[in-house]
Structure 1
Amino acid sequence: MRALIAAGNLAATRAGNQWLVDADSLDRQADLVAAGATGRPFAPRIAWAAAALCDDLADGISSAERHRLRNRLVHATASTVDTCALVRRWLSRRAQSLHRYRIGERDLVELLEARGVTPTGISAADTYNLGLATGGAADAYVSEHTRRELEKTYVLIDSVRGNLTLRVTDAAIADLTKAPRLIAGVDLADDTDARTHAAGCRLISEALRGIQGT
């Protein structure tokens, strides 16, 4: 269990000498194991580089790394393992930490338009024409600095079942108006709702077709 937490495969918080593991995170890990997706997760910068490659964005990696990564992505669909589960496993360390908050609907709309906030998952579903309703929820990537600023500005309240999910990353997201398809797809595919999960897997497949066509 501690090894999975250290590797970023399970979301958990320390409480004294014990770890409190997020239930959804535990369910996701069980699903990935059941699907046979037990390969080593990508380092955070490689996870974002993979998404950038699929969308023809600047990836920030060396030519040798790019060649190896492209080959892995191209051959992902040829694997005997569930492709969606495999990519979810690869990108499981895409965020350094995950935080959930409760916030009013009016503030939620304003927050998503704030500087340094990159919509993903359900908040990018409309942009990618996935036909999903937000249901009053929002999901976004931010830097740790931006997260702290948002907490102060919007007086965000920690809530395990909150309607706002902020994912902290060191990736260069400042110029992104939305998360790349592979990232947004994995965020959706990790959801426990069957329709949302399926939409995420479709977006992952679409992103992989992009790399195969280059």
Structure 2
Amino acid sequence: MSRMAVGDAAARLGLSASRVRQMLADGVLRGERIGRSWVIEQSAIDAIADERPGVGRPWQPQSAWALLAVAGGDEAEGSAVERFRARDRLAEHGLAGLVGRLSARCEVRRFYAHPAVLDDLAGADDVVLGGISAAGHCGADVIAAGVVDAYVKASMVDALIDRYALDERAERPNVIVRVVDDEFWSFAANERFAPWPVVAADLLESDDARSRRAGAELAARR
């Protein structure tokens, strides 16, 4: 039976290697440790890939953000060529069909925070709520209590970790931090919730089937 290394599995799923390792730790993926490395049954990866829309080689961050901006009606993001390509791709595939190409827009990191600080974290000035934390705001039919899902600039991550004592080694994370390089940060000043195409992409990338369905419905309604 064929097996895959973490890097190959990440490329197949359009995810980061760190996310695949987290899926292994959470039991979402079953694998075997050989020394310090994981190996994963290819059939397990193929099964997940078949459920995930738009799996393919990720685009560069600027192209991913340009497409999300165009999907939301914002023509200011990216070059004229990138906007033209984005409109063409959206017309042919739709947002849900392209989500696997958008994973490079951010690095997804997972932490545990004490439940008492979650509300303060969600309201912090230097984060923009996305994914499950912005789903209700965008009209998506899914909720998750006791979880914060937010975008943050790369230059602000360390300060955020220190301020809220975020623990990246915890087995049951309750904070999703989507780290965006400062040069690609596309959110407006004082923007509290990510635009609906970003939220739809976040949900479509989820390991949770309910979140993926909600993301697909959100993308289809717009």
Q: Give ranges in structure 1 of 5+ residues lacking alignment.
A: 14-18, 78-82, 210-214
Offset of residue 44 of structure 1:
1.1
Choose which of 168, 177, 186 in structure 1 pairs with 2:192.
Answer: 177
Aligned partner of 2:124 in structure 1 is 114
Aligned partner of 1:12 in structure 2 is 17
Aligned partner of 2:135 in structure 1 is 125
Offset of residue 64 of structure 1:
2.0
Choose which of 113, 116, 134 in structure 2 pairs with 1:103.
Answer: 113
Residues 113, 175 of structure 2: 8 Å contact kept = yes
Distance 2:51 2:141 in 1: 28
- Distance change in 2, residues 1:174/1:22 (3 Å): farther
- Structure 2 SS opposite 1:93: helix
Deviations 1:46-85 (A, max 9, x none): 11111111222354312122112111111114xxxxx73x
- Distance change in 2, residues 1:51/1:193 (3 Å): same
Aligned partner of 2:201 in structure 1 is 186
Distance 1:102 1:136 in 2: 11
Choose which of 88, 94, 99 in structure 2 pairs with 1:88.
Answer: 99
- Distance change in 2, residues 1:28/1:160 (3 Å): farther
Choose which of 50, 55, 59 in structure 1 pairs with 2:72.
Answer: 55
Aligned partner of 1:151 in structure 2 is 161
Aligned partner of 1:80 in structure 2 is none
Residues 55, 181 of structure 1: 8 Å contact kept = yes
- Structure 1 SS opposite 2:212: helix
- Structure 1 SS opposite 2:150: strand
- Structure 1 SS opposite 2:103: coil
Residues 11, 57 of structure 2: 8 Å contact kept = no
% identical equivalent positions: 29
Aligned partner of 1:16 in structure 2 is none
What amino acid sits opposite 2:175 in the alignment? L
What amino acid sits opposite 2:212 in the alignment? H
CA RMSD after TM alignment = 2.9
What amino acid sits opposite 1:65 in the alignment? E
What amino acid sits opposite 2:209 in the alignment? A
Distance 1:92 1:114 in 2: 24
- Structure 2 SS opposite 1:126: coil
Q: Give runs of ≥4 in structure 1 deviating > 6 Å.
A: 25-29
- Distance change in 2, residues 1:36/1:49 (3 Å): closer
